[in-house]
Amino acid sequence: MSTGRTGMPKIKPASARTKPAATGADRTEDAIYTRLLAAIFEHRLPPGTKLGEDRLAGIFGVSRARIRRVLPRLAHERLVTLEPNRGAFVARPTVDEARDIFEARRLIEPAIVSRFIEVAGRTGVTRLRQHAQAEKRARAAGDKQAIVRLSGEFHVLMAEMAGNAILARTMRELTLVTCLIIALYDAPAVPHCRSDEHEEIVDAVAAGDRARAVRLMIEHLNHVERGLDLHTEQLAPLDLEAALA
């Protein structure tokens, strides 16, 4: 498993995955970190999941000490909470944290859009359009895990190509926490943003229409937030081994 330029996990669709025998490369700290990150990002490990050292060590075929070194890396990303005498859990953002995340994104992403238009050029627009088309194909295929991953990567990719490393790092963190928020508070009965909103943003930046691109980005974030039920947590039973297969 590898990570792309966005820093997000690049993973085969679930239908294309098999469970090969573990190799030495699969057992490195980086590989374990990447698999856990991917499972959280794709909603295979929902918020609140206990990440027991013994179980993870057994799943990955490594020592507890190695797992113990990986979990703080995820905690640094705000994806895992480490609780004294209780262990590690996939983070569960509060309602206030969810609102703060979307407020921060509405402040930061217009600046990213503006800078992208200034510096990304035709090559950047082409890459962003290709990414939006990949997301569209995932929607057509009904690949929910790929949809979640590609949708988040769209925002990180734009931030990276905007050429400000601090903004890109911040966007990555905000996107990962947003993934947890959606997993925890998703409201299936509430209409979400249209599937073509990312494509419309690409069209606006391709035309150099800064005002329209910024407006579309803010509307997109508002639609995502309105698709949440911040009064009800959506959690399902979990098979940890299957989630990490």
Q: Are 47 and 62 in contact (CB under 8 A)?
A: no
Sign of CA dihedral 136, 100, 235, 40: positive
Those residues whose C-beta lies under 8 Å from the C-beta of residue 100, and which sit 6 or more positions away, are none
Q: Are 225 and 102 in contact (CB under 8 A)?
A: yes
Query: Could you give the angle at which helices 29-41 and 165-185 cross, rounded to 10 degrees?
Result: 60
Each residue's pLDDT tens digit, 146-196 = 888 899 999 999 999 999 999 999 999 999 999 999 988 886 554 455 678
> What's the topology of domain 95-226?
Four Helix Bundle (Hemerythrin (Met), subunit A) (1.20.120)
What is the predicted pLDDT for the residue at 232?
67
Q: Which amino acid is at 121?
A: G
Q: Are 147 and 43 in contact (CB under 8 A)?
A: no
Under the phi-then-psi rule, with left for phi > 0, alpha for psi from -120 to 50, and beta for the rest, what region is 235?
beta
What is the predicted pLDDT for the residue at 42?
84
pTM as predicted: 0.80
Query: Could you give the angle at which helices 121-141 and 197-206 cross, rounded to 10 degrees?
Result: 170
Least confident interval from 2-11, 56-65, 89-98, 183-192? 2-11
Residue 10: φ, ψ to 5°: -100, 115
Is the per-residue pLDDT at 36 higher than 90?
Answer: yes
- 11: tokens are 């993973």
Q: Which amino acid is at 189?
A: A
Intervals of CATH 1.10.10.10 along the chain = 2-91
> What's the topology of domain 2-91?
Arc Repressor Mutant, subunit A (1.10.10)
Q: Which residue has the higher pLDDT, 234 or 161?
A: 161
What is the predicted pLDDT for the residue at 223?
93
- 54: tokens are 């013994």
How confident is the prediction for the chain on average, in pLDDT?
Answer: 85
